[in-house]
Homo-oligomer: A and B are copies of this chain.
Amino acid sequence: MDGFNIAIARSTLPQVAAERLRTLIIEGILAPGARLNERELSEQLGLSRTPLREAFRLLASEGLLLQLPNRGVQVVALSREDVRHAFEVMASLEGLAGELAVARVTDADLDDLSALQGELEKAHKRRDLPAYYRVNRAIHDRLNAIAANPVLAQTYRTLNARLHALRFRSNLNGAKWDRAVAEHRSMLTALAARDGAGLRDLLVRHLHAKLQAVLETMKGQDKE
């Protein structure tokens, strides 16, 4: 039993409900700006209003829902400005993760990331977008694990969740996709060279490209 974790994971209805609602929001079934009705939703989900309200609290703290006292809960509709603000912060956090990772990366880490980069390139060659996203996620998670700052990882995750629905809807096209894959390759090179500033720049640039893709999807939603 060396460090082998056999604890049985516990969950509660609010957590399960929040996870389900998160998915519904990301997939756009609960649309941005939509007001959620507790009675209907609790019937649909097959639970009482109490855990559902607690789930709302969870999602509100993640920025996915907006709670208005006595007026219920709305799915957050991000403006282009909101998106830019979130990306601005996320770029800073990713840059930090890159710097921390450079300071802490091992050869084993680099091997694993190389393998993941190989998978990423295969998925790209196959035009397999779901697989590409999955591996992309694994690469970023690994980078965060190397950075070894749980506060950073959690903060990033929270911000990222807000944008997930939008990114889900902003598909990569050919040229953008080629560029993204090449950027990942460059990031791996910078990490292997322990080039903190270089990796930071690449991560920020990579994220900026994602921002542009999302903003393209959101044309006409500016508050200006």
- In this complex, the interface size class of chain A, counting residues with CB under 8 Å from chain B, is 20 to 34
Question: Which B-chain residue is minimally distant from A70 (CB atoms)?
Answer: B10
Docked pose: A163 CA to B183 CA in angstroms: 37
Docked pose: A70 CA to B13 CA in angstroms: 12
Docked pose: A24 CA to B51 CA in angstroms: 26
Residues of B within 8 A of A85 (CB): 149-152
Residues B54 and A86 in contact, CB atoms below 8 Å apart: no
Residues of B within 8 A of A93 (CB): 89, 92
**How would you classify the secondary structure of chain A's contact residues: helix, strand, loop or mixed?**
helix
Residues B11 and A82 in contact, CB atoms below 8 Å apart: no
Number of copies: 2
Is there a chain B Cβ closer than 8 Å to A57's Cβ?
A: yes
Residues A96 and B100 in contact, CB atoms below 8 Å apart: no
Residues A57 and B50 in contact, CB atoms below 8 Å apart: no
Is there a chain B Cβ closer than 8 Å to A44's Cβ?
A: no
Chain A, range 50-77, C-beta contacts under 8 Å to B:
50, 53-54, 57-58, 61-62, 68-70
Is there a chain B Cβ closer than 8 Å to A12's Cβ?
A: yes
Residues A88 and B61 in contact, CB atoms below 8 Å apart: no
Is there a chain B Cβ closer than 8 Å to A36's Cβ?
A: no
Residue in B11, B61, B88, B95 whose beta carbon sits within 8 Å of that of A58 in the complex:
B61
- Interface residues in chain A, defined as those with a beta carbon under 8 Å from any beta carbon in chain B: 10-12, 14-15, 50, 53-54, 57-58, 61-62, 68-70, 82, 85-86, 88-89, 92-93, 95-96, 100, 149-152, 155, 159
With A53-B54, A57-B58, A88-B96 already in contact, 6 other A-B pairs whose C-beta atoms are closer than 8 Å: A10-B69, A58-B61, A61-B61, A85-B149, A88-B100, A92-B95
